[in-house]
Amino acid sequence: MDIDVWQHGPQAHGGRLRIGDTVMRCALGRNGVTSPGREGDGASPAGTFALRHVLYRGDRGYRPSTALQARPIGPRDGWCDESADPAYNRPVRLPYSSSAEKLARRDRLYDVVVVLGHNDAPVVPGLGSAIFMHVARPDFGPTLGCVALDPDDLSYVLRRVTPRSSITIHPYPFGQSV
């Protein structure tokens, strides 16, 4: 089952996600949706992306119920966000010599992470890194470019997707064109 995401509401980071007939609230990048995206632009990239795999905090819960491949996040897992590094937009082991995001966060935002196939085949330096679908803040505050959902909604989505599913982040309200 495929997923559609679009900006919704007065705030740039407010969004909606549709899977099948179900629509739910989501948070987007602080600057809404953009195309093309750039590293550090604070926007969710427009496009259609594969759902690569799931990462989860095994120390905070069980493996999510999903048909996607899933593996636990360890304390040394990171994601390189340094455009000039050969490991850009790839998982790395921490500590890492270049800039890298820590996946084992203290907050609960990365308790479950779906790695999206954004800028990964091939990786183009500067086009953006670490674009995930993950747990939203309680107030649905903005992300740095990811799509964030309520934990129960993220579980719902994961139970319905398959390895052939994709997510489309629309650069305009869903069902409309520019």
Sign of the CA dihedral with 111 first, then 117, 121, and 127 last: negative
Whole-structure pTM value = 0.96
Count: domains in the chain: 1
Does residue 141 lie in a domain region?
yes
Does residue 161 lie in a domain region? yes
Q: Is residue 159 part of a domain?
A: yes
- Whether 45 is covered by a domain: the verdict is yes
| pLDDT exceeds 70 at position 178 | no
**Is the residue at 145 inside a domain?**
yes
Asked, for residue 142, whether it belongs to a domain, the answer is yes
Q: 160 pLDDT exceeds 90? A: yes
pLDDT confidence of 175, banded at 50, 70, 90? low
Chain centroid to CA 37: 14
Q: Is 80 a catalytic residue?
A: no
Query: In this structure, is residue 175 part of a structural domain?
Result: no
| pLDDT at position 176 over 80 | no
Nearest to 6 by CA among 31, 30, 32: 32
Integer distance in angstroms from the first to the last C-alpha of the chain? 26
- Active-site residue among 13, 118, 134, 170? 134
The active-site residue, picked from 80, 118, 146, 170, is 146
Domain extent at residue 84: 3-169
Domain with residue 18: its CATH number is 2.40.440
Answer whether residue 64 is part of any domain: yes
